[in-house]
Amino acid sequence: MIYLLLLLRIKKTAKDTEMSRINTDAEMPIAITLEAGTYYRCTCGSSKNLPFCDGSHSGTERPIRFELEKRRKVYLCSCGKTVDQPFCDQTCGVKLPQD
Residue 28 to residues 53, 54, 66, 71, 89, Cα–Cα distance (Å): 20, 23, 20, 22, 11
Residue 53 counted as domain residue: yes
Number of structural domains (the chain) is 1
Query: How many Å from the N-terminal Cα to the C-terminal Cα in the chain?
Result: 18
Enumerate the β-bridge partners of residue 68: 37
The pLDDT-based confidence of 58 (bands split at 50, 70, 90) is: confident
Among 5-14, 39-48, 56-65, the range with the most confident prediction by mean pLDDT is 39-48
- When mean pLDDT is compared across 50-54, 55-59, 62-66, the lowest value belongs to 55-59
Q: What pLDDT was estimated at residue 22?
A: 52
Determine the Cα–Cα distance for residues 49 and 55; give it in Å rounded to an integer: 10
Residue 97 counted as domain residue: no
Q: What range defines the domain where residue 41 resides? A: 1-91
Output the pTM of the full model: 0.70
The pLDDT-based confidence of 63 (bands split at 50, 70, 90) is: very high
Residue 13 counted as domain residue: yes
